[in-house]
Amino acid sequence: MLAVFFLFLCVSASTQGTPSVIIIGAGPAGIAAASKLFENSFTNLLILEAENRIGGRINSVKLGEKYVDLGAEYCHGQKGNIVYELVKDLNVLAPISSHFKPALYYSNGSRLQDSFTEELQAIILGYDDFETNSNFSGRSVGEVFTSRYNATIMKKYEGDAEKIKLLKEALRLAEKVSLMIDGAFSWLETSPVKHYVRSEGHQLLVWQGLGYRTILQVLMGEFPDKKSPIREKIRLNSPITQIRYHNSSKIVVTTTNGSYEADHVIFTPSVGVLKREKDTLFQPPLPEKKLQAIEALGIAGVMKIVLHFENEWWGDQDSIFTFLWGEEDLGNLMGELKWVQSVALVAKVPGNPGVLVAWVTGGLIPEMEKMSEDDLLKGCVFLLEKFLGRDYNITTPDKILKSTWHTNGHFRGTYSYERAGFEGATRYQSLLAAPLESPEGKPAILFAGEASNPAHYSTVHGAIESGFREASRLIKLYRKN
């Protein structure tokens, strides 16, 4: 009995003055917040995760001997990128080969000249040039790009009927590439005035078959083969149904399998979840400024279809196949195969032998995510044979994986973007990041996640920065007191 009493005193002494913190979401933001708090002796933590795995929109899946990423895949940049800084000495990241260049195929099965492909690539990616121009307020990326495209590029080739035809048809490809970057369903939804700050250096650093899951291992101190005490704080399969604050000194978080109390909550789910559940999840309801931020930030989806082939039918120098649909061929697409027009490109995955990934964009994604893997496989084989069948002996994949980010209620999209029509001086990511305070004026509910990062939204490094930011907010609060 004395021993039990002594143990109780020791535990009480070690936790006295240490706040209890619930972190909602075990994605990169939530894991980053937990790791920062742990490093600073804030161990009275609970991490509630709706999925049956950790990672959030990082989802590395074993395929053969290597991992493929159904979610975040590339590390974008080096200087000022917390992901790169955390792993730069571990030999896990490498830039994509200089051979990683697109081959553009036309829907009649012919490969277009590399000179035209390079020219078109420069035109399409050139939409970055006007992203910070405030003169485009109130317009969309699609409107601005199309206007400039028609006024300058089309005029340049006036009189060359064949080139003009290809360029008109290429406008659809330009939208697909734009949607891959922004994650929207339509480029009429995205703002040409962007505040994203690009990290200098290689923009396509890959994980060499290890998967983006590596950064989670590093954050938790598990890389390459250790176990972190943070794991013991995670409760999987725990979707949140309500968060009550202001009614007492504690915040009450209710899940589908129980309720928990804490002094502070760090909320990391996507802005897609907030859009769908903003009116029911919080009690009392969210303030008007928070609702404005949720409205101003967009989220939709990019879909991946991962194809594994027993034998590689492509060459060592092949890296990306891009598809340009002719008007006539597009009009002949019927019924169950109509969705293949949404495939922007098919790329091989460095470090993953036998694997190609089809990147899908546009408004058909909600339907496509519900399609069977067999139907998706048939469509992908049709697409590859139609465009590449002249030059390659296409075989049927032996394995297929698909992402379902938009239809999954725990995410409701892939990554956030700035919506057209919300270009004023207000930085909506900062409004989203502002904590909800307790009656005593202390941060009660803190918001993290990529959409709350004004400079690096839509990225894993932006999510990690936001998790560190909110953990540091609590650390400073209690050190000050």
pLDDT of residue 6: 32
Domain segments of the chain as ranges: 18-91+204-296+425-480, 94-195+300-402
E strand intervals along 237-351: 240-244, 251-255, 258-262, 264-267, 282-283, 297-299, 303-308, 320-324, 343-348
DSSP 30-76: HHHHHHHHHHTT---EEEE-SSSSS-TT--EEEETTEEEESS---B-
pLDDT of residue 98: 62
Domain 94-195+300-402 has CATH 1.10.3860.10: no
DSSP 155-168: HHTTT-HHHHHHHH
Strand 21-24 with 45-48, pairing: parallel
If we measure between CA atoms, which residue out of 171, 168, 166, 152 comes closest to residue 113?
166
pTM for the model: 0.94
Instruction: Provide the β-strand partners of residue 206.
Output: 94
pLDDT in tens, the chain (481 residues): 333 333 333 333 333 468 999 999 999 999 999 999 999 999 999 999 999 999 999 999 999 889 999 999 999 999 999 999 999 999 999 998 766 689 999 999 999 999 989 888 888 877 555 444 556 778 999 999 998 888 877 777 888 888 889 989 999 999 999 999 999 999 999 999 889 999 999 999 999 999 999 999 999 999 999 999 999 999 999 999 999 998 678 999 999 999 999 999 999 999 999 999 999 999 999 999 999 999 999 999 999 999 999 999 999 889 999 999 999 999 999 888 999 999 999 999 888 999 999 999 999 999 999 999 999 999 999 999 999 999 999 999 999 999 999 999 999 999 999 999 999 889 999 999 999 998 888 999 999 999 999 999 999 999 999 999 999 999 999 987 6
Tokens of 96: 């994509």
Name the CA dihedral angle for 5, 8, 10, 16, rounded to a multiple of 10 degrees: -140
Count Cβ neighbours within 10 Å for each residue of 152-188 and write b for 16 or more, e otherwise. Answer: ebeeeeeeeeebbebbebbbebbbbbbbebbbbbbbe
pLDDT of residue 75: 97
CATH topology of domain 18-91+204-296+425-480: FAD/NAD(P)-binding domain (3.50.50)
Contact present, 300 and 294 (Cβ < 8 Å): no
pLDDT of residue 158: 80
User: What proportions of the chain, in percent to the nearest 5, are helix, strand and coil?
Assistant: 40, 20, 40
Residues 265 and 313: their CA atoms lie apart, in Å, by 51
pLDDT of residue 17: 62
Instruction: Provide the β-strand partners of residue 61.
Output: 68
Contact present, 298 and 184 (Cβ < 8 Å): yes
Instruction: Provide the β-strand partners of residue 102.
Output: 320
pLDDT of residue 4: 34
Tokens of 134: 């405030």
Preceding amide of 224 cis, omega within 30: yes
Residue 6 DSSP SS3: helix
pLDDT of residue 424: 84
Contacts of 66 (CB under 8 A, 6+ apart): 209, 210, 211, 351, 352, 353, 355
Name the CA dihedral angle for 360, 364, 369, 371, rounded to a multiple of 10 degrees: -110
